[in-house]
Every structure is written in structure tokens, then in C-alpha cells.
């Protein structure tokens, strides 16, 4: 099995900013943190759901987001197994910024829950029955969106059949063939099996099957959490955040690997740079010393760029070797520029990893 979209993952770093006062950003990879770049617009209430009946309250998820009036709010929602559950007094979110599993919750697994879980919009975006499918893809109902990548980053849930209740993030959507791609289900859905798709965030849990590295996500966030431009009378803002681009394939490398930004959303005000070594060691552990998120990384990174960069080791100043080896990643520093008086934007940023695989 070649390295595919399902094998590329964006992890967080050990210290990520939740406020302007967080210090010593960056460090090594934190494989319990997932960084998402899609725009999780909700414009409604949210619910949590697991693919395991064992995940029940007091297991819970805390959700942070912007309400429709622009205020930053949060709510705590307990699990009810495979049954969707909202809070008793649900908030109306305009968009989601972060969600976190309660690590003190009961249940199995190393993050307090048993199966893949999610927080999603209570308003289902699309539902129907499978035309035909494999374990990691599905041709869905012809009434699905004709917009390229429309469902990318959304929550895919089977509601009956051999994979009933299983939850995955859609990592790619081909509108021309109404085909969704995701990390493998335990069984391929059959023709006529029902599914539903909604905006939201998926807490991935894998067990090493299908050549996918074992992971257990408990914290999902957008980069540059709750950051804002200064008023016209103030100064421009330069902010920094560190993430890791990771190859989850447990056996194969992605060769001739490059990282680039897609010319959509906030690409014009975000640049990126690479740590000089891999897997969170050496330059991969780079921080911005004891400074807040307005200070650039201290050392061991490439120049910030908005053009494609080769992934791989850069030891001794040499060009990167282009190899993203199996179960290996590279630190990526992001730089956000906000001009004075810039208005709030409901937008997103997208990175693209390209390469070759056998």
C-alpha cells in the first residue's frame, strides 16, 4: 500500500499558544494534538458521538468556538455511546476553534475513550446510501456536492451495515466521481448502506492496522488560536505557531517530498519554515526561547517562504534530502501577518504535501 492522503497527518507541538502570554512555543512533536486548517463553520449547535457504546458520561469533550455574536465561548458535552448527544443548554456556535477529550474520563484506550469520536454540527450537511466502497473510500449518493474538496475535513459516519457507527475524517473528496477518501474502516461498506456527513472535528484512534501508525488524539485545534489584529492606531502583528507534518505509514517513505501552501483562504498572509531535522529531535525541537507567540523561532529553521520547500534533513546547511520516512515527521513553523485594523475573517489555511511512493 503506497503512501496516500490518509497517511499524511498534522500533529501539534509540545507548547502551542492559547493566549498572547504563552511562552517557549514549539518543542518536540505531541502526538495527542491534531492541528486542523479547514474552516469549521457550524452556525448552529453541536453534539458529540462515539463509535463505541462503551464511551459514556463522565467521558466528555470540551468545545471552544465563536458564537454568532463573535464572543469566544465553550461548553462541555458528555458522551452517550453511539447516540449523538448535545449539552442540556446548547450554545449556538458560528465556528469551532478547539475541542478536547477529558483525559480523566472513564473507558479504555490511552486517551480515556474506546473508539473514534467526534464533535459535529447537529445539522447534517449530507446523507444518503453508499453506491460502492472499499475500506478507505466510498462512492456516495449522486446528490452529493459537485464542489471540489467540499467535504474535505468533515465528519463521515456510517449509520448501518458492517461498518455501522464508525467515524472518520474525510481526507479527500473527488466531486467528479462523488468519491470520499478516509482512514480505513474495519469493513468495506456495502451498496445501500447508509451514511451521514457533517462539519466537525474527528478524534482519530488507530491500532496499527492497514500500515497506519498507532495514534490517539485528545486535543484538536486550529493554529493561531484566538489571535486578533490591533486597531488602526496600533501596530501590525507577526505571530508564530509550530506544527509537525507526519508520515503515518508504518513501512514506506514518501520520497521527493515537498511542502507547499495552497493558494486559497489566508495564504497571502501566512508563510512557513522547516525545522532542520526530523521527528522532533535536534532542530525539530526548536522553540522561540522564553518568548511569547510574537517572537520567531530561535534557531535551526529555514527562511520563511510562501513557495514549495523540500522536506527532509537539512543538517550542516545542506539542502533537504526530500525523504519523509515511515513514521517520521518534520517540524513546520507558521508565520501569520496581520496588518493594523485588519477585520476578522472567517477563513482557513491549507498546506499540501506532495511526493512519490512505491
pLDDT at 108: 41
pLDDT at 288: 74
Q: What is the rounded distance in angstroms from the CA atom of residue 74 to the CA atom of residue 72?
A: 7
The CA dihedral of 205, 190, 5, 36, to the nearest 10 degrees, is: -50
To which residue does cell 485594523 refer?
341
pLDDT at 262: 86
**Domains, the chain, ordered by start:** 41-123+203-211 (no CATH), 126-198 (2.40.10), 230-356 (no CATH)
Residue 29 contacts residue 236 (beta carbons within 8 Å): no
Q: What is the rounded distance in angstroms from the CA atom of residue 201 to the CA atom of residue 218?
A: 11
pLDDT at 299: 66
Single out the residue of 33, 29, 35, 34 nearest to residue 278, CA to CA. 29
Q: What is the rounded distance in angstroms from the CA atom of residue 171 to the CA atom of residue 194?
A: 19
To which residue does cell 515511515 refer?
326
Read off the pLDDT of residues 223-264 as tens digits, 9 standing for 90 and up. Answer: 999 888 888 888 899 999 999 999 999 999 999 999 999 887
Residue 199 contacts residue 118 (beta carbons within 8 Å): no
pLDDT at 266: 82
Q: What is the pTM of this model?
A: 0.92
Low-confidence ranges of the chain (pLDDT < 70): 103-114, 277, 279-286, 299-300, 314-319
pLDDT at 281: 44
pLDDT at 315: 55
Single out the residue of 65, 93, 99 nearest to residue 79, CA to CA. 99
The CA-to-CA distance between both ends of the chain, in Å, stands at 8
Q: Is 294 left (phi over 0), alpha (psi -120 to 50) or beta?
A: alpha
**In the structure grid, which three cell numbers stand for residue 13, read together?**
507541538
Amino acid at each position: 500500500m503506497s503512501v496516500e492522503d490518509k497517511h499524511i497527518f498534522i500533529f501539534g507541538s509540545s507548547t502551542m499558544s492559547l493566549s498572547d502570554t504563552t511562552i517557549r512555543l514549539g518543542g518536540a512533536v505531541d502526538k495527542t494534538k491534531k492541528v486542523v486548517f479547514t474552516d469549521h463553520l457550524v452556525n448552529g449547535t453541536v453534539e458529540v458521538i462515539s463509535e463505541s457504546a462503551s464511551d459514556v458520561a463522565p467521558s466528555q469533550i470540551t468545545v471552544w468556538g465563536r458564537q454568532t455574536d463573535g464572543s469566544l465561548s465553550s461548553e462541555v458535552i458528555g458522551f452517550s455511546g453511539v447516540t449523538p448527544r448535545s449539552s442540556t443548554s446548547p450554545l449556538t456556535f458560528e465556528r469551532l476553534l478547539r475541542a478536547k477529550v477529558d483525559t480523566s474520563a472513564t473507558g479504555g484506550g490511552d486517551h480515556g475513550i474506546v473508539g473514534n469520536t467526534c464533535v459535529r454540527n447537529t445539522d447534517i450537511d449530507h446523507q444518503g446510501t453508499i453506491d460502492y466502497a472499499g475500506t478507505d473510500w466510498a462512492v456516495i449518493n449522486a446528490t452529493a456536492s459537485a464542489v471540489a474538496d467540499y467535504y474535505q475535513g468533515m465528519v463521515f459516519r456510517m449509520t448501518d451495515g458492517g461498518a455501522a457507527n464508525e467515524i472518520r475524517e474525510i481526507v479527500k473528496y473527488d466531486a467528479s466521481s462523488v468519491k470520499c477518501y478516509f482512514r480505513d474502516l474495519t469493513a468495506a461498506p456495502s451498496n445501500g448502506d447508509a451514511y451521514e456527513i457533517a462539519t466537525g472535528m474527528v478524534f482519530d484512534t488507530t491500532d496499527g492496522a492497514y500500515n497506519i501508525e498507532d495514534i490517539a488524539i485528545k486535543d484538536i485545534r486550529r493554529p493561531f488560536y484566538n489571535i486578533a489584529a490591533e486597531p488602526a492606531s496600533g501596530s501590525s502583528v507577526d505571530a508564530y505557531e509550530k506544527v509537525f507534518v507526519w508520515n503515518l505509514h508504518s513501512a514506506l517513505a514518501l520520497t521527493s517530498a515537498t511542502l507547499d501552501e495552497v493558494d486559497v483562504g489566508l495564504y497571502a498572509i501566512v508563510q512557513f519554515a522547516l525545522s532542520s531535522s526530523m521527528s522532533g529531535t535536534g532542530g525539530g525541537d526548536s522553540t522561540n526561547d522564553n518568548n511569547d507567540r510574537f517572537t520567531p523561532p530561535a534557531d535551526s529553521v529555514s527562511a520563511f517562504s510562501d513557495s514549495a520547500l523540500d522536506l527532509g534533513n537539512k543538517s550542516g546547511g545542506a539542502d533537504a534530502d526530500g525523504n519523509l520516512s515511515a513514521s517520521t515527521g518534520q517540524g513546520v513553523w507558521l508565520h501569520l501577518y496581520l496588518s493594523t485594523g485588519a477585520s476578522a475573517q472567517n477563513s482557513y489555511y491549507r498546506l499540501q504535501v506532495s511526493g512519490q511512493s512505491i
